Amino acid sequence: MIGYEEVEPAMMERFSGVVRQYSEENLTLQDGEGSVWSCHVANASFHRDDSVDAWYTPEDEQTNQPCQIVYYEYTGRWDDVPEEWMDDGIFAAYYKPAYRKLKEMSLEEKIGQVLLVRYPDGDAIRALRDYHLGGYLFFAKDFQSKSEQEVKTMIQAVQDASATPLLTAIDEEGGIVVRASSQPHLRESGFLSPSALYEAGGMELIYEDTIEKSAFLSNLGLNLNLAPVVDVATSASDYMYERTLKQNTSLTCEYAKTVIQASKGTSVSYTMKHFPGYGNNADTHVGEGYDVRSYEDLLQYDIPPFEAGITSGGEAILVSHNVVSSMDDSNPASLSLEVHRFLREELGFSGVIITDDIAMDALDNVSDIGGKAMIAGNDLIITTDYVQCFDSIQTAIENGTLKEEQLDQSAFRILAWKYAKQLMSDK
């Protein structure tokens, strides 16, 4: 390798990227935009996936002198996960492969990973290719008039078309929210509600139901269930009442633990919702919801089921759009820095934080929701208008209101989750 001091600075150019190939005489790097660059190098040692800044003299056609590296610096080893990201979190065993994958991604690919998009009526495969989406969320309309095999084919088609394996999600709570099992050509009857299961057979039947539900969803190609509802509601007048266990905090804690523990032997992940507890608030699908309960009441009655699920290995938590005044009286929980700080720092949650659907009317008066959702601390955004959400996040990064490092950590967490779910492999 030529000595750095032997070459005029004006004669040198610089390329930064990740090592893709290395031999005794040649180094190939790829940058974040996918551009590939090769150059002669000698007396150096690299590993695949090292991050490198290389200064080089360009190829000289007149003298037939090849491109040659003059000087290089390591900017990161292949498995150098940032120290501040390292913890003993639920996906920690998969941090290194997740980080290697993250370093291969462009900004656009990383933005796409944090979007969980309602399955579109249009070209779902083109949307994947254009926006690199992290997953699709399926609703009842997507299963109507389809046979089991047609549903499998629909889901497998988008999975096959995605460069990075997809989260394929559904709300299959049981009772009044049964997107797939409500279709008679897919199952004889819809899954029972948590309260009906508990009345019929206690926690043992809930455990069995979770295993059966997981097998049903997995067979169709679905790998993420946006359930259980672990909100505590004991009054029939509460909006969320019919979707809950309809029992007190202690029994709801047992319910959260039971579902999460039962899910661990399956290929379907479960999502506890609606943090920090829905209480007796109004329907945020059709308007704003305000929770005026005291902080002490939240800690005593609403937070414990989420804690129970976390200690049992909960992988994901969905945050509501209610304004929880005792935590943050200015922002919906889904857009609140304090609510997310509490979930990470006070409860020690290391899994994936998901917004409730940002198309709900509760957020109608909020602009630039995608960027604000990321800034607040969400990892995964449920959205219908993925183009607008994508653009909002990109704009937030470009104008500096959202640091790219924060986007990176969320994409990294989602990738680690996908490795943990064995959707991805290093092989």
pLDDT of residue 285: 62
Beta strands 167-170; 135-138: pairing state: parallel
In tens, the pLDDT along 337-369 reads 999 999 999 999 999 999 999 999 889 888 999
Tell me the C-alpha distance between 331 and 373, whole Å.
Answer: 11
pLDDT of residue 79: 62
Q: Which of 78-87, 150-159, 239-248 has the lowest mean pLDDT?
A: 78-87
- 29 pLDDT above the threshold of 60: yes
Locus of tokens 């000595």? 3
Tell me the C-alpha distance between 321 and 407, whole Å.
Answer: 21
Higher pLDDT among residues 34 and 61, named by residue: 34
- 171 pLDDT above the threshold of 50: yes
Phi, psi of 210 (to 5 degrees): -65, -40
Token couple for 263: 């899910």
Comparing CA positions, the residue from 159, 156, 192 lying closest to residue 173 is: 192
Domains and CATH numbers, the chain: 4-76 (2.40.50.140), 83-420 (3.20.20.300)
Beta strand residue intervals within 23-114, DSSP E: 26-30, 36-40, 51-57, 68-76
Query: pLDDT-based confidence at 2, cuts 50/70/90?
Result: very low
- 10 pLDDT above the threshold of 60: no
In tens, the pLDDT along 388-421 reads 999 999 999 999 999 999 999 999 999 999 999 9
Partnered with residue 352 across adjacent β-strands are 316
Determine contact, residues 313/264, Cβ cutoff 8 Å. Answer: yes
DSSP assignment letter at 142: G
Mean pLDDT of the chain: 91
Show the 3-state SS of 267-318: CCEEEEEEECCCCCCCCCCCCCCEECCCHHHHHHHHHHHHHHHHHCCCCEEE
Percent of the chain with pLDDT over 70: 94
Higher pLDDT among residues 61 and 117, named by residue: 117
Determine contact, residues 276/347, Cβ cutoff 8 Å. Answer: no
Classify 52 as helix, strand or coil. strand
pLDDT of residue 52: 84
In tens, the pLDDT along 205-223 reads 999 999 999 999 999 999 9
Percent of the chain with pLDDT over 90: 72
- 245 pLDDT above the threshold of 70: yes
